[in-house]
Chains A and B, each alone.
Chain A
Amino acid sequence: MTQAVSQHRASPRWTDYLPLSRGAWRNTAFVTAGVPVHAVALSMVVASWTVMGDIESVGEVLISLGISLLLPLVLLKPLTAVQRSRFWGLLGVDLPAPPSVGRDVRAFLRSPATWRQVAYHALVGPVLVLGGLLVIVMWAAGFGLALLYAYGWALPLHSPLAMPGQYRLYTNLTLSGVLILLVTPAVATLVTRLDARAARALLGPSRAEELERQVEDLAEKRAGVVDAADAERRRIERDLHDGVQQRLVSLAMNLGLARETLTGVPDDAMQVITEAHTEAKEALTELRNVVRGLHPAVLDDRGLDAALSGIAARAPLPVKLRVDVPVRPAPTVEAVAYFVASEALTNVTKHARASHVEMALARQGDILRMTITDDGIGGADPAGGTGINGLRQRIASVDGTFRITSPAGGPTVITVELPCAL
């Protein structure tokens, strides 16, 4: 978001080229502030050569070269930080931070980002110092010349500008001053653009690094969303269990008690009680099914083996279950595996006309592998069906893979692989 906004603010506008416009002053301030900063960086590169005076031997050259390189490297972080805050404070451009390599010196030296930053400070810096100085000189000269008439009379006689009587020259000088004032904003803007372009290319992450960071960022966010949805399902399950279910059990029990023990109740009243009792029990059954579809407590408490043997037992056809998951995967992954098994069994029951299902789960390293085989009629369309699409989406949400083979005549085999940790 910040980036989009700053891009907008940094994009050059034609008004920036107008003399005395806001943009012109902003760019001038930016370029001027850049001069000392770039100069500091530059001084580090040249420091050794000047301090050591006459450099004659090869050794001295190497030492000087080494210091030229070493100083900017040591001070790279603060230098870049100052430049970034100059861009943000004066130009409103938020340069993305270069990728951090931590305290590992070798990684720091190997990182292309390091050398891009050195290039900015040591190679582009001098050009920008010159540009900044040029802008300052141009402003000074422009004002100095353009206002010549205003103070010319006050100049001492030996001043080079004090040329009494030469009105033609005065006029020319004034006009050239005005001209310089007209051109200076454009120069400031050009230097600014050059600086901004160089900084974006060299100070921030490269395109590849940027994309990599964005992918990491998105993956992290998605994992967060998936986890949050899962936690929400769990919370709803707990709430239903602690509240509604207890109340319903109690209600059904009371109605059952009334049905068993009340005597002398008119037949129609007893019929109402009986119906209420039956409905309360049905509501309980429905509630259990809802909870099972959400996120059954047994999954959290006891893991996939117990939860899956539950759905296998309730399936209307024989299900052979093999679970070999010695170390439990992340809760979200367990939830996905449970959902897949439960959906797949529902699909088989509804469409496959199978007589037998085999469900096998095994953890292989960091992969949870699940195969569901039925001996039904096959012909399941891998592309179609909301059931299969729902499966695919839920599996994709944890970067899992999904494969279904279902030739006409069967058998149908679903293979799912899920990463155990997110």
Chain B
Amino acid sequence: MRIVIAEDSVLLRAGLIKLLETSGFEVADASGDADGLLAAVEKHRPDAVITDVRMPPGYSDEGVRAALVIRRQWPDVAVLLLSQYVEERYAADLLAANTSGIGYLLKDRVADVSSFLDSLRRVASGGTALDPEVVAQLLVRRQNDPLEGLTPRERDVLALMAEGRSNSGIAEALVVSESAVAKHINNIFAKLGLVGGASADHRRVLAVLRFLEGGS
């Protein structure tokens, strides 16, 4: 799997390259700013991009803007954003058009090597990976909408779905059985009016979308 990295801290960039190469990824290019990132994506057409949000010259949201450009110009390149803090608007911007192949994690999560690599693989293969803190912040805003009808447990399940976890991953995180998770998910679909017709996967995406869009 070919990856392009954009990270302005030299230390972290080197660390990421080492981590990825040791874990069987191919790092096609690594740059320290957004312009370098876009040039590298154009040149290498990687499977996925890992980019910091705050980069030179402005040290604000260069990474997010670059990610939006990549989403538009090269839709099949997955993007995993690493941020010092959670800004839900970034997540909303990124997920607005398409929820596949997008990840938004706190930078610290890199330290959890295996779960970070899982997230990267998930994103690269078209899934989503949202940081639990992103999801928690999105929940703060969603309290006067269809999601109101969900029980706390169902909310937890939906939040984990938004993080991009599979049923077994959700079951593991909540320490319940997989069939209990499936039941919760069916309840969620029912309460959100997502019944019949669409495939389970599609409904799953719709539920997450409803969750992410709700209220805003």
Contacts and interface: CB of A to CB of B under 8 A. Distances in A.
Interface stretch (A6-14, A308-316, A335-343, A362-370): A308-316
A363 to B, nearest CB: 19
B137 A260 contact: no
Contact of A281 (B85, B89, B107, B111): B111
B204 to A, nearest CB: 23
Interface stretch (A131-139, A210-218, A296-304): A296-304
* B54, B60, B88, most chain A CB atoms within 10 A: B88
A306 B108 CA distance: 19
Contacts, number: 94
Interface stretch (B15-23, B25-33, B165-173, B183-191): B15-23
A313 B133 contact: yes
Contacts of B111: 249, 252-253, 255-256, 277, 280-281, 284
B12 A257 contact: no
A298 B85 contact: yes
Interface string B135-162: 0110111010000000000000000000
Contacts of B18: 254, 257
Q: Is the interface of B mostly helix, strand, loop or mixed?
A: helix
B210 to A, nearest CB: 19
A241 interface: yes
B177 interface: no
A259 B117 CA distance: 14
A261 interface: yes
A288 B84 CA distance: 9
Contact of A302 (B15, B23, B87, B136): B87
Contacts of A241: 84
A356 B14 CA distance: 45
Interface residues of A, number: 37
A319 interface: yes
Nearest to A305: B89
B180 interface: no
B46 to A, nearest CB: 20
B124 to A, nearest CB: 18
A298 B137 contact: no
Given A246-B11, A249-B12, A309 B137 contact: yes
A84 B133 CA distance: 66
A111 interface: no
A314 B136 contact: yes
Contacts of B54: 297, 301
B11 A250 contact: yes
B110 A249 contact: yes
A313 B113 contact: no
Given A249-B12, A297-B84, A313-B140, A288 B89 contact: no
B86 interface: yes
A86 to B, nearest CB: 57
A296 B19 CA distance: 28
Given A249-B107, A309-B141, A256 B85 contact: no
Contacts of A313: 86, 133, 136-137, 139-140
A351 interface: no
B22 A298 contact: no
Given A246-B9, A257-B19, A309 B140 contact: yes
A281 B12 contact: no
Nearest to B112: A256
Contacts of A277: 111
B98 interface: no
A319 B107 contact: no
Contacts of A254: 15, 18
B110 A253 contact: yes
A221 interface: no
A310 B85 contact: yes
A185 B137 CA distance: 82
30 contacts: A241-B84, A246-B9, A247-B11, A249-B108, A253-B12, A253-B15, A254-B15, A257-B22, A260-B23, A260-B113, A260-B114, A281-B111, A281-B112, A288-B108, A297-B84, A298-B87, A301-B54, A301-B61, A302-B89, A306-B87, A309-B137, A309-B141, A310-B86, A310-B133, A310-B137, A312-B137, A313-B133, A313-B139, A314-B133, A321-B140
5 tightest Cβ-Cβ pairs between the two chains A and B: A252-B111, A256-B113, A313-B136, A313-B137, A298-B85
Given A246-B9, A254-B18, A256-B112, 13 more contacts: A245-B107, A249-B107, A250-B15, A253-B12, A253-B113, A255-B111, A256-B111, A256-B114, A257-B19, A284-B108, A298-B86, A306-B88, A313-B139
